[in-house]
Structures are given as structure tokens and as C-alpha cells.
Amino acid sequence: MIRITTDSTCDLGVNATERDIRIMPLSVILGADSFRDGVDITPQDIFSYVAKTGTLPKTAAPSIGDYEEFFSQFVNAGETVIHFNISAKSSSSYQYAEAASKKFGGKVFVVDTKALSSGQGLLVMKAYDLVQQGMGAEEVVETVEALRPKTNTSFIPDRLDYLYKGGRCSRMTMYGANLLKIHPLIEMNDGQLVAGKKYRGSMDKCITAYIRDLAEKYPKYDKTRCFITHSSADASLVEVAKKQVAELFEFDTVLETVAGSVITGHCGRNTLGVLFIAE
């Protein structure tokens, strides 16, 4: 038996529940109170807190002891665990999970996805598929790690307020972008978020152009699935994305997921990304 597990930052929602993929929650800290991502806090709690205080929530990785306790329930049941972490450049989760795995004598494999949100989720889902096909744990890990540089993890934020509050852009950049309706592409490059092309105009116009650029950049891709992941975006914006993806790609399945509290706390409302694995 192989058990697939992952951090709550995968933003898989019901897709994890349906496959019995177990989730290790990160912590979201609002003032003096700590909450478990995906368990007892919602993105709306984040929006309310930021509106009230003007500051972003803090986040914290599970401890080594937390991971040991989490892994032990599966190993004690005779299962081999493959755990997928958010990028090691974004959190200490991988470092702590890897340290915890040493306790279990080769029964726990830990993978740095070098991604976040449903970019991380894509690799989790691929691992699940491979396990269902009968692949062994070491081969699953090797296969999925080879897919990391091919995983498109990118998104377009509506406003830069949250990125500014998180120290990821200057006040001048934020004001200029919001005034001129500039929406920069934010994407993962070797496990680290970087800014790319700047789109200008309304969000629906920018999302349309962003998806068109994805289709040009990735003419060959894994057609198994695509995620449209957003941070509580307007329904009309999500529909624009779905329509554009349907017109330009041929995915077997297009899944809509809403970002959890950790991811939302870094990007703000109305951020949207289209994520998939390229060939």
C-alpha cells in the first residue's frame, strides 16, 4: 500500500478528498490566534483580517514532531508514504518533513514539488495516477520529480496590495500598477516566484491574453488535466478563463479550485491562474 499525502498548500479541495489523499495543514496566524489551513479558517477570514488590520497574516510550517505524528499513522498501518511539500524556497515544510521521514526507515518519501497551489497539486494528482497504475514508490518519486520543471505554475493578480504588504513589490510599483491597471504575470521558476510579462487593462482582458500566451508557449502538454485556480475570484472572470482554456487547449478534464488561506494570504482576492504539466 502506498499513501499519497501533501501539504494544505496544494489547493486540491474535493479532488484530494475523493482520492483519500491526506492533507497536512500549515498554520495561519491572525494576531495572537493560530488556525489550521483548510480546517478552521477560510479565505474570507483572511480578507476580513487584512481589511481590519492593514497587515497580512503570518504562516507557519508544521514542526518535525507534527510531521512525525502525521506520517506514523500511515506507516503503523503498513503503508509507504509519499509526501509532497510546497516549494522549499517558499516554506520550511520540506525541510521539516524530510527530517521527520528519517524516523521511518525508508517508509516515507518526501518530495519538494518546487511549486505551490495547484502546481503542487498537479504533481500530487500525477503521483496518485501512477500509484493506481501499479507503479512502486521509488519509481513514482523519480517520475514525478522529473516533471517538476515542466509544471506551469503561474497566475495573474488583480491588485498588488497583498504582494506589497508581503514585501514582494514596492509601494510605488503597487500604486502605479493599480492606477494603470497593470497585472504582472507571477510564475514559478525553479521553486521561486518571479515576475514576468506585464499585462494591462481589465482583468478579463488580461486573463484572456495570459491564457493565449500560455497556449503559444506550451504547444505540447499533458492533456490529462488542467487547473483553473483562483482566490475567490468573480464568477464572470472564472468563466472567461474556462472559455478561453476550452478554445485553446484540449484537456481531458478542467478542474476549478479555490485557493486556501495560506495561498490567499499572499496573493489577495481575484488572483487567477491556469496550471498544467507541459511535455
Domain that holds residue 51: 2-147
Gap between the Cα atoms of 232 and 101, Å rounded: 35
Predicted confidence (pLDDT) per residue in 72-116, tens digit? 999 999 999 999 999 999 899 999 999 999 999 999 999 999 999
Beta bridge partners of 23: 6
Residues 135, 174 share a domain: no
**C-alpha cell, 216:** 503559444
pLDDT band (50, 70, 90) for residue 208 = very high
Residues 140, 12 share a domain: yes
Tell me the residue type at 239.
E
Angle at 11 between CA 76 and CA 5, to 5 degrees: 15
Residues 63, 39 share a domain: yes
User: pLDDT at residue 251 above 90?
Assistant: yes
Indicate the residue among 147, 169, 203 that finishes a domain. Answer: 147
Residues 41, 124 share a domain: yes
pLDDT band (50, 70, 90) for residue 58 = confident
Q: Which pLDDT does position 175 carry in this prediction?
A: 47
Is the pLDDT higher at 51 or at 15?
Answer: 15
Q: pTM for this structure? A: 0.93
**C-alpha cell, 146:** 522529473
Gap between the Cα atoms of 156 and 107, Å rounded: 39
Mean pLDDT, residues 225-241 taken together: 95
Residues 143, 8 share a domain: yes
User: Long-range contacts made by residues 158-164, C-beta under 8 angstroms, separation at least 24?
Assistant: 158/183, 158/203, 158/233, 158/268, 158/269, 158/270, 158/271, 159/268, 159/270, 160/184, 161/268, 162/50, 162/56, 162/265, 162/266, 162/267, 162/268, 163/266, 163/267, 163/268
Predicted confidence (pLDDT) per residue in 112-168, tens digit? 999 999 999 999 999 999 999 999 999 999 999 999 999 999 999 886 665 645 555
Q: How many domains does the chain have?
A: 2
Indicate the residue among 124, 147, 170 that finishes a domain. Answer: 147
Residues 155, 143 share a domain: no
Do the Cβ atoms of 90 and 115 come closer than 8 Å? no
Residues 269, 166 share a domain: yes
